[in-house]
Amino acid sequence: MRILVAGGAGFLGSHLSERLLGEGHEVLVVDNFYTGQRENVAHLLDNKKFELIRHDVTFPLFVEVDAICNLACPASPVHYQRNPVQTIKTSILGSINLLGLARRTNARILQASTSEIYGDPVISPQEEEYWGNVNTIGVRSCYDEGKRAAETLFSDYRRQYDVDTKIARIFNTYGPRMALDDGRVVSNFIVQALLGKPITMYGDGSQTRSFCYVDDLITGLISLLMKEKNVSGPINIGNPGEFTILELAQLVIELTNSNSSIEFRTLPSDDPKQRKPDISKAKSDLQWEPRVQLREGLIQAIPYFEARIASKT
């Protein structure tokens, strides 16, 4: 297949592109490099089945493809709150443009949605039928509501135009190629610990997250992309292992052999208190579940951050 990966120079997009090439597909990456990095895909440039185009998905794109993966949107609060209007435009206009392309080319299309559509959930674990508890006017709304609107668009294009759509709800993912200034909790803690700086803990650390290693996440996305048309989602893709943020900090300090202290700060507005996916649908519809547990995944990820820090000094 010839597969378009929007946002393919980002953390997840680059891993997805690499895996798709490894499975024999042609890959066309489009990225405006707002958060994506050319270096994430530099090792793919010599592959004759790989193509890279600088393009912003808020503008139409005219190419011929068999499948589309829409990962085009900044995903960390630091990045998406820097330009919130552009963030929500990327989710909504980008979805409209890529869905239009899918309709014209009769391509299947996968939306990388997010656990953030559940907002600050009042049930746990979160199952796909849960509608969420989201602040529509908060500082995180540009991302949360943008992704929710994108899910609506994907569902309506499926109903109205019979487009073969897939929706994956991604829970916290970590691993190599995260930016040092990514702003998400795993990369923050690892970088701070390696530099011997205090670990910044927002709130009292009792809030929970479920962390999925990138290799597992990519396997889940590809499994959904390749499924027959009647499997459309939304489907949660994440690791149901639940940890408090304080437990994560302590584990990072242990694995990096760091002397960092933990520094408590005020919890940001609308920060969810709990995240844990119900992956029953992923197990039944995709025959997928994560294999890499948090300790093992951190052991694999930490050397990448060590190398990146060393290259900056």
> Which sequence positions are flagged as catalytic?
143
The whole-angstrom separation of Cα 205 and Cα 226 is 39
Residue appearing with tokens 């709800």: 169
Alpha-carbon distance of 16 to 19, in angstroms, equals 5
Structure tokens at 214: 């990138």
> Peptide bond preceding 268: is omega within 30 degrees of 0, i.e. cis?
no
Q: Which tokens is 92 given?
A: 């909504």
**Contact between 77 and 183 (Cβ < 8 Å):** yes
Q: How far apart, in Å, do the first and last CA atoms of the chain sit? A: 42
Alpha helix (H) ranges present in 174-267?
185-195, 214-225, 245-255
Taking the C-alpha atoms of residue 148 and residue 143, their distance in angstroms, rounded to an integer, is: 9
Are 97 and 60 in contact by the 8 Å Cβ rule? The answer is: yes
Are the CB atoms for 6 and 30 separated by under 8 Å? yes
For residues 155 and 159, give the distance between their C-alpha atoms in angstroms, rounded to a whole number: 6
Residue at token pair 């040092």: 180
The answer to whether residues 55 and 79 touch, using CB atoms and an 8 Å cutoff, is no
d(CA 265, CA 36): 29
State CA 299 to chain mean position distance: 20
Residue 181 CA: distances (Å) to CA of 11, 74, 79, 266: 12, 13, 9, 20
